[in-house]
Amino acid sequence: MPAVSKGDGMRGLAVFISDIRNCKSKEAEIKRINKELANIRSKFKGDKALDGYSKKKYVCKLLFIFLLGHDIDFGHMEAVNLLSSNKYTEKQIGYLFISVLVNSNSDLIRLINNGIKNDLGSRNPTFMNLALHCIANVGSREMAEAFASDIPRILVAGDTMDSVKQSAALCLLRLNRTSPDLVPMGEWTARVVHLLNDQHLGVVTAATSLITTLAQKSPDDFKTSISLAIARLSRIVTSASIDLQDYTYYFVAAPWLSVKLLRLLQCYPPPEDAALRSRLTECLETILNKAQEPPKSKKVQHSNAKNAVLFEAISLIIHHDSEPTLLVRACNQLGQFLQHRETNLRYLALESMCTLASSEFSHEAVKTHIETVINALKTERDVSVRQRAVDLLYAMCDRSNAKQIVAEMLSYLETADYSIREEIVLKVAILAEKYAVDYTWYVDTILNLIRIAGDYVSEEVWYRVIQIVINRDDVQGYAAKTVFEALQAPACHENLVKVGGYILGEFGNLIAGDSRSSPLVQFNLLHSKFHLCSVPTRALLLSAYIKFINLFPEVKATIQDVLRSDSQLRNADVELQQRAVEYLRLSCIASTDILATVLEEMPPFPERESSILAKLKRKKGPGHLPDIDDARRNVNGSTEHSESTEATSKSSPSLMTDLLPTNRPRPASSSPIMLSAGTMSSSHPFTDLLNLNSTPSAGGSLLIDVFSDNSTPASMDVSEENFSRFVCKNNGVLYENQLLQIGLKSEYRQNLGRMYVFFGNKTSTQFLSFSSVVASQDTLKTQLNVQTKTVDPIIEGGAQVQQILNIECVSDFTDAPVLNIQFRYGGALQNIAVKLPVMLNKFFQPTEMTSQDFFQRWKQLGAPQQEVQKIFKAKHSMDTDVTKAKILGFGVALLDGVDPNPANFVGAGVIHTKSTQVGCLLRLEPNTQAEVKVKHTHTHTPNPVLNHNIPIYRVTVCVFVFVQMYRLTLRTSRDSVSQRLCDLLSEQF
């Protein structure tokens, strides 16, 4: 036992902690805690005249027990009573208990607020600090309503001590973050700014944090802080370390305050006053100069503090973007960090230079470090630093170095980490398009990109290639020749087949004069890839074939044979079958003139923001994408990329709206694909590159509606495919089809649960009018409460949204709620119903028990209606580790060494509902070689005509088979619970 000093007023607490530390097992610890809790409870209930020392000691013990992970459901009132004590130690323990254990919705909040109000009005600085700390730690809305008007008054009062001002500023900052609408803006705002001139640097530091947060919300109210912040910063950076001895950290004067002041100045533009601006420039130059000085200490803390101030100063220089000299100096100093041995400094330098690259003053200075950045891309070990290097190359790219940077990115892409490949692909595609003077280089680059990282080339990339090729006549022949040569490789990525099929279908005639790329050779080359492709790509190739019939009449018979084959006309996929039938019919009955009209070349696409850039903006998020689209640097003279992400999302449909919607489900009442002259003048031709999904013109169509479907949709089935997989786990994919993926992540505590449902759009097209509703049967509604939060009605292509479900178990139940999802995709209404994996076992709390306690309880639950037993054949091979994991995942505690047979598994837990608690004991007995007797009887009856004297005889054969079996026994205090748990668990083995 550790020695307890004579002056220690809580010897009992020290003894109790020592006893806990000396416990040899978890059971011994729980036993000792339960004994102490019983003792404390009896003291609180029995002895009404308990003195402050005893209350403090017992409340401390309760706090210690809570910190060990045990629930505390009493003692709160005694802690509140300690607030009225005049002794610091007793009041401190009371506030500590309240800060840690009292819920913001507790009924005691009013009493606590009264105690806090008394301490705030006591003018005792120690008691005032304790009260302010408690308000900041709890930070509830009720406390904000009660004290939001008192704390500013304390903060700006002239007789308030410095330590109290610090606490008041930080407390007000906390309330502003939790309940910003409750913090009033009044006359105190002008007075709090003057705290920046306070002699106590601790007060200045706390006030700076508060003013920075408030200035972000109401910048005009705190404009006067600019001059005061610059004056204070000037005094700090020009002072020697000995002048601020109490606030000097490893020879750096007040580094935390310097960083906060620099951050405050970033809330405003450069000062308009010339003298003030000159003083700020001097401060920044001094910081840059000090960073170049030899280090005054070899300790890492010294360099960290100095670099923290330096990087924040550079951030301010970049924010102002008005001093060319400072920007170039900042760039040069960051360049020195690019080869620093500290990984964090290299990362920060690359990140800051990304922002500097967008400034007209420092862009050229950033470009001088291109070789260092490329070398970092090749040799850096940390993937996050390599990603920042990619960002910097992207940001510094212009027409003069575009080919070099794109080539380096393509070279790195072959060995890049999988986590950043998609982002690199998008950036290469954007740079190649933006800075392409010769569009043949652009075509070569994108095809090379598909070859190197085809799996990471999104639809937006190859959509954009097709759009550019169609809009530029000078590159169409070269594109056709290039994709034809690329398709001759033995292994081609499917995205290359898509590009090749589309371009050859439109412009294959431009290279048909060469015998090596004759029409028949082109067709055979494309058709050799047909069987290797997915359904959407096959649909695109069928569309290319019908285009070939228009371009090359000599291959018409060959293509018709392909369309007429059983593999096409009787294809299991409706889309492919419909295209084959309609294209075959069109080629047979339409004249040459009609074919030429219907299948003419696609018209040019309207110019708009690149869908690739829009996707990269969504992927990186606002504020994270280096701006390479400034009008200053747009070498092509176009400002099409300078629009905001918001404008992008509101613009007319772009290439992302599924250029070839072959996998788009059709409404039940929609017409099949029709080809007419009227469809070619669609206002948005880019929604279907080959115009094969357009609506027929009013004047009638060329084809008969051979697949008209006016039937009503069938009733919606509830998907239970993955329901049973979640019995023993809480996370995973619940449902997935070609459009939508639904993932789950859930957590449960006693009778409450929270489920996070993730809806992922697997397509490149928006889901519109998206809704998700949980439905329950009438009986289940009384047993299970499920509250849902609304979900965003629009899910962008490739995006994911989250919905939160709050669950409360009122009583035991057997059914499960159903999640009904509805949205529109490509004009078609989609309905999906999925059974939510909310089972009774999710509300288990595991219970540790000794062998004696287990069998004693087992006997108490011996009534016939309390036990359910099931013997069943093992569905999977018996594995001890897997079985243990499933039992633990089921929610019970696995009790080792309880059952006499070590091969058996024993568990215990308590089902928590709002109305009651149900204890549960289970026993799983595996039998690896259970003998099963199979009896087979055969009866033979002779022909009565031929063998009337031969008697009837019967043969019985007995076969003994050894199989793996389980016997599962559950005992609970409620028979319906036993049966439900047995059914759930037995399905897992």
pLDDT digits (tens, 9 = 90+) for 48-81: 678 888 888 999 999 999 999 998 888 888 888 8
> What are the CA-CA distances from residue 647 to residues 397, 614, 617, 800 (Å)?
24, 10, 12, 20
Q: 896: which residues sit within 8 A by CB, 6+ positions away?
A: none
pLDDT for 931 equals 53
- What are the pLDDT digits (tens) for 25-56? 999 999 999 999 999 988 888 766 788 888 88
Q: Any bridge partners for residue 804, and if so which?
A: 756
Nearest to 483 by CA among 461, 501, 460: 501
Q: Provide the 8-state DSSP code for 142.
A: H
The torsion angle over the Cα atoms of residues 298, 299, 301 and 307, rounded to 10 degrees, is: 20
Q: Which range among 637-646, 814-823, 871-880, 971-980 shows the weakest confidence by mean pLDDT?
A: 637-646
Show the CA angle centred on residue 716, arms to residues 712 and 720, nearest 5°: 155
Cβ atoms of 688 and 801 within 8 Å: the answer is: no
> Cα separation of 432 and 457, whole Å?
14
Give the per-residue pLDDT at 47: 63
* CA–CA separation, 548 and 501 (whole Å): 10
pLDDT band at 498 (very low <50, low <70, confident <90, very high): very high
**What are the residues facing 773 on neighbouring strands?**
820
Q: Encoding tokens for residue 158?
A: 């002239």
pLDDT tens readout for residues 902-951:
888 899 999 989 888 888 998 888 887 655 554 555 554 454 433 444 44
Which pLDDT band holds residue 609 (cuts at 50, 70, 90)? low
Give percent of the chain with pLDDT exceeding 70: 84
**Contact at 8 Å (CB) between 549 and 559?**
yes
- Characterize the bridge pairing of strands 953-972 and 867-873: antiparallel
HSE-up of residue 393 (Cα within 13 Å, Cβ side):
32
Within 13 Å of residue 459, how many CA atoms lie on the same side as its CB? 16
- Range of weakest confidence among 131-140, 302-311, 952-961: 952-961
The arithmetic mean of pLDDT across residues 668-677, rounded, is 32
Alpha carbons 545 and 541: distance in angstroms, whole number: 6
pLDDT-derived band of residue 611, with 50, 70 and 90 as boundaries? Answer: low
Bridge partner residues of 745 (DSSP): 731, 756
Distance separating alpha carbons of residues 477 and 471, to the nearest angstrom:
13
Compute how many other C-beta atoms are within 10 angstroms of the C-beta atom of residue 764.
20
State the distance between the two ends of the chain, measured CA to CA, in whole angstroms: 49
Query: What is the chain's mean pLDDT, rounded?
Result: 81
Which amino acid would we find at residue 90? E
Amino acid at position 153, single letter: R
Name the more confident of 227 and 668. Answer: 227
Identify the pLDDT of residue 654: 33
As a whole number of angstroms, the distance between CA 412 and CA 414 comes to: 5
Q: pLDDT at position 262, please?
A: 94
pLDDT band, very low/low/confident/very high, at 6 (cuts 50, 70, 90) = very low
What order do you get walking across the sheet with 828-835 strand by strand?
718-719, 828-835, 818-825, 768-775
Residue 673's pLDDT band, with cuts at 50, 70 and 90, is very low
Q: Which residues of 703-734 are buried (b: 16+ CB within 10 A; e: fewer)?
A: beeeeeeeeeeeeeeebeebbeebbbebeeeb
Mean pLDDT of 718-729: 85
SS3 content of the chain, % helix, strand, coil (to 5): 55, 15, 35
Residue 958: predicted pLDDT: 53
* CB contact at 8 A, 414 and 424: no
Q: How confident is the model at residue 709 (pLDDT cuts 50, 70, 90)?
A: very low
CB atoms within 10 A of CB 883: 19
CA 413, CA 371: separation in Å to the nearest integer? 17
Parallel, antiparallel, or unpaired: how do β-strands 740-749 and 800-809 relate?
Answer: unpaired
Q: In the predicted model, is pLDDT for residue 575 greater than 80?
A: yes
Check residue 187 and give its pLDDT. 75
In 851-916, beta strands by DSSP E: 867-873, 893-894, 905-912
* Matching residue, tokens 């057997």: 814
Backbone angles phi, psi at 775, to 5 degrees: -115, 140
φ/ψ (deg, to 5) at 964: -90, 125
Residues 726, 604: Cα–Cα separation, whole Å: 51
User: What number of CA atoms fall less than 13 Å from residue 715's CA on the CB side?
Assistant: 2
pLDDT of residue 699: 35
The tally of CA atoms less than 13 A away on the side-chain side of residue 15 is 7
Contact in structure between 378 and 413 (CB atoms under 8 Å): no
d(CA 769, CA 791): 10
Q: Closest Cα partner for 83 from 42, 41, 55, 54?
A: 55
Which residue, among 479, 472, 516, has the nearest Cα to 499 in the 3D structure?
Answer: 479
Q: Contact 398/580 with Cβ under 8 angstroms? A: no
497 against 866, higher pLDDT: 497
Q: Does residue 911 contact residue 840 with C-beta atoms inside 8 Å? A: yes
SS3 491: coil
Q: Which phi and psi (to 5°) does residue 630 adopt?
A: -65, 145
Task: List helix spans (H) across 369-417.
Answer: 370-379, 383-396, 402-413
Residue 886 — very low, low, confident or very high, per pLDDT cuts 50/70/90? Answer: confident
